[in-house]
């Protein structure tokens, strides 16, 4: 028996979810971008992403307006809150939010609701984006950089769709009862929360290799049983997409054994957090991974890596995750697919030229040149200018 459709009136192929943000670049080519550089290496990598966006604006005749505000540890220090009201207001008024990183060792003693991370979680909740897209791509030039064998990582191209507003991160009740020496968090999902993120995964898979792997722990958790049943139901609306299910422990292993077998992976908040860091191994460094959070009022763009306080301010950080995040911003908030691809092509080019930040310089590979955060950003920017110039020249003939 054919299962009843989940959403009345929805027909396959119809755009049922917003893959692009509701705030889009207006006809006058303006995009208001709120920059939240945050802590640690956040400011230095974000600066490189902004430089690249400025180049795109100049070459394409767009008007990108950048405003800055505080979040995380720096906001705690200067304004007494990890998410000041002024920051939240500015975020809700912007077309897109570009974030660096939050967190620092000096805040480790604070309770979770007072830490820099609470600012980020509060921002995610306020903006409302529930689908966090985290691509993990095996850049050919970095094939020998991964600790995995080149023949294992070659051709891997995975898109994680991490549910971002539910699960243990936000579930109530939550508490550490110090008197009773007991602590608890709540893992809860509703069917609607699973439906909406599953739809994003299927829509995106339709534009890729048409395969969705849903990851859960349905052999143990009721929440995962609801997750699996719901994703299975949603799949009926997407007959062209193959769906399979994996337990999270098995998935963690398959990711390292056969990363090429994955296309889109959809999973709940905490599993997605863990698996996407693991998938950085395929790329060779966590510093390479970008992310975009869509589905809410304003899209949020942040590299997957953290604030790395130990290397902050030393020019050692890899800006490519932030730069690739800028490409996602152009794609999902600017509808500027060609410009997004130009940035990705520029990154590919500088990697092929042998430029590496310290995190990418494993071993002594011949032809490799170790460069600073700033120099890497500059190389990408120069390559981008050449790529866009060339494509404009082609269009002019």
Catalytic annotation, residues: 169, 217, 249, 273, 277
Q: How far is the CB of 261 from Mn ion (least distance, A)?
A: 23
**Which among 100-108, 127-135, 143-151, 265-273 is the span making contact with Mn ion, rule CB under 5 A?**
265-273
* β-bridge mates for residue 159, sequence order: 135, 264
Q: Which is nearer to Mn ion, 59 or 270 (CB)?
A: 270
Q: How far is the CB of 162 from ligand IPM (least distance, A)?
A: 8
Reported residue count of the chain is 397
Q: How far is the CB of 305 from Mn ion (least distance, A)?
A: 8
Alpha carbon distance 207, 175 (integer Å):
42
User: Out of Mn ion, ligand IPM, none, which partner does residue 117 contact, by CB within 5 to 8 A per kind?
Assistant: ligand IPM
Among 95, 117, 344, 359, binds ligand IPM (CB under 6 A): 117
User: Out of ligand IPM, Mn ion, none, which partner does residue 120 contact, by CB within 5 to 8 A per kind?
Assistant: ligand IPM
DSSP string, 219-256: TT-HHHHHHHHHHHHHHTT-TTSEEEEEEHHHHHHHHH
Within 297-316, the residues that bind ligand IPM by CB under 6 A are 304
**150 phi-psi bin (left φ>0, alpha ψ -120 to 50, beta other):** alpha
Distances (CA, A) of 233 to 2, 157, 229: 10, 26, 6
Q: Which is nearer to Mn ion, 273 or 339 (CB)?
A: 273
Q: How far is the CB of 273 from Mn ion (least distance, A)?
A: 4
Q: Of 397, 146, 151, 186, which is closest to residue 278 (Cα–Cα)? A: 146
What's the longest Cα–Cα distance across the chain? Answer: 76
273 binds ligand IPM (CB under 6 A): yes
Among 36, 120, 343, 346, binds ligand IPM (CB under 6 A): 120
List alpha helices for the chain, DSSP H: 42-60, 73-79, 85-93, 116-127, 150-153, 191-206, 222-235, 248-257, 269-283, 320-333, 337-352, 373-396
Residue 19 · residue 204 · CB < 8 Å: yes
Q: Which is nearer to ligand IPM, 237 or 302 (CB)?
A: 302
Q: How far is the CB of 34 from ligand IPM (least distance, A)?
A: 18
> Residues touching ligand IPM: how many (CB under 6 A)?
7
Q: Which is nearer to ligand IPM, 203 or 273 (CB)?
A: 273
273 binds Mn ion (CB under 5 A): yes
> Would you tell me which residues interact with Mn ion (CB under 5 A)?
273
- Provide the binding-site residues for ligand IPM, judged by CB under 6 A: 102-103, 117, 120-121, 273, 304
């Amino acid at each position: 028996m054919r299962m009843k459709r989940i959403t009345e009136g929805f027909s396959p192929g119809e755009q049922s979810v917003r893959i692009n943000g509701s705030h889009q670049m207006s006809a006058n080519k303006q995009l208001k971008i709120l920059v939240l550089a945050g802590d640690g290496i956040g400011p230095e990598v974000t600066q490189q992403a902004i430089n690249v966006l400025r180049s795109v604006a100049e070459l394409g005749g767009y008007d990108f307006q950048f405003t800055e505000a505080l979040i995380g540890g720096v906001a705690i220090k200067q304004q007494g809150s990890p998410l000041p009201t002024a920051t939240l207001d500015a975020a809700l008024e912007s077309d897109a939010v570009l974030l660096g990183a939050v967190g620092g060792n000096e805040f480790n003693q604070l309770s979770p609701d007072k830490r820099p991370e609470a600012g980020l979680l509060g921002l995610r909740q306020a903006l409302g984006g529930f689908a966090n897209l985290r691509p993990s791509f095996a850049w050919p030039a970095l094939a020998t950089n991964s600790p995995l064998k080149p023949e294992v990582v070659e051709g891997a191209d995975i898109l994680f769709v991490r549910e971002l507003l539910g699960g243990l991160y936000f579930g109530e009740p939550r508490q550490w009862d110090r008197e009773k020496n007991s602590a608890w968090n709540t893992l809860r999902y509703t069917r609607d929360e699973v439906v909406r993120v599953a739809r994003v995964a299927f829509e995106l898979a339709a534009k890729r290799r048409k395969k969705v792997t849903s990851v859960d722990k349905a052999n143990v958790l009721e929440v995962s049983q609801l997750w699996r049943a719901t994703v299975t139901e949603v799949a009926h609306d997407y007959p062209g997409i193959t769906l399979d299910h994996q337990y999270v422990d098995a998935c963690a292993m398959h990711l390292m054994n056969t990363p090429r077998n994955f296309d889109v992976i959809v999973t709940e908040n905490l599993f997605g957090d863990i698996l996407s860091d693991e998938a950085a191994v395929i790329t060779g460094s966590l510093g390479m991974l970008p992310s975009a959070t869509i589905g809410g009022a304003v899209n949020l763009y942040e590299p997957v890596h953290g604030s790395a306080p130990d290397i902050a301010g030393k020019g050692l950080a890899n800006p490519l995750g932030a730069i690739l995040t800028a490409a996602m911003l152009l794609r999902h908030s600017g509808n500027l697919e060609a410009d997004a691809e130009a940035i990705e092509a520029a990154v590919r080019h500088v990697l092929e030229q042998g430029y590496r930040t310290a995190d990418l310089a494993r071993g002594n590979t011949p032809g490799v040149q170790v460069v600073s955060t700033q120099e890497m950003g500059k190389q990408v920017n120069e390559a981008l200018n050449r790529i866009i110039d060339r494509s404009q020249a082609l269009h002019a003939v």
